[in-house]
Amino acid sequence: MCNLYRMTSNAQAIAGLFRTDVAGRNLPSLTEIYPDSEAPVVVSEGACRALAMMRWGWPPFGEGRRPITNVRNLASPMWRSALSDPARRCLVPVTAFSEWSAAPDPKTGRKRKHWFDLRADSPEGDPLFAFAGLWRHTEEGPRFAFLTCAPNETVGRIHPKAMPVLLRPGEAFDRWLSADGAGAAAMQVPLDDALMREVPGDEPPPAQASLF
């Protein structure tokens, strides 16, 4: 389960890579995004895409339960209608995500955060990618969650149960926001190990300045 990620890029980068209208919005550097935090997401609005802020965590059924942050069982009626409607899918911009170690660090006696990101095609800044997300309106405003899948080897050696569904800019973004339900469900697969890496250390990278 992924319950921590970063988005330290800026609105200009999102506008370019996600082909999104950011409406002059300026984004702060979000070095630690936890459940119930507000975070940027990209949604389709007809033929266009727009940047919005939503709260992370899908409202659960029943009482006394935490909001759902990760979506795994796509056969569940809870997700079926959202998955089948492209307008209910979203792209969640990310620069890195974290998983906790299964065992405590022998030196500190505490579990350690392991960070992962995509291998950058260039040395300029953090690689920007997306989680495959779903969203819905609620009385408290829009909320989102994102898909998880079986882990690849890179993530699986730290967290063997699951990893987020990661999308690279370009064709994968387009397909997630336009495919039918079956096509979207088929994207619930791990990213190739060759395309990602573990980032050493727990300290966040320097924030990228926004040009907006």
- Residues 7 and 22: their CA atoms lie apart, in Å, by 15
Find the helix or strand (DSSP H, E) in which 181 lies: helix 181-185
Q: What is the CATH number of domain 5-199?
A: 3.90.1680.10
CA-CA-CA-CA dihedral for 132, 70, 41, 112, to nearest 10: -100
Token pair listed for 107: 């030196």
| Count of positions (residues) in the chain | 212
Q: What is the pLDDT along the chain (212 residues), one digit of tens a residue?
A: 789 999 999 999 999 999 998 888 889 999 999 999 999 999 998 889 999 999 999 988 766 578 899 999 998 888 999 999 999 999 999 999 999 877 767 777 777 889 999 987 544 455 899 999 999 999 999 999 999 999 999 999 999 999 999 999 999 999 999 999 999 999 999 999 999 999 876 555 544 444 33
The Cα 37–Cα 5 span in angstroms is 11
How many Cβ atoms from other residues are within 10 Å of residue 16's Cβ? 12
Amino acid at 153: E
Separation CA 49–CA 19 (nearest Å): 7
Nearest Cα to 134, choosing from 84, 171, 95, 189?
84
Cβ burial 147-159 (10 Å sphere, 16+ → b, else e)? bbbebbebbbebb
- In angstroms, the CA 150 to CA 199 distance is 20
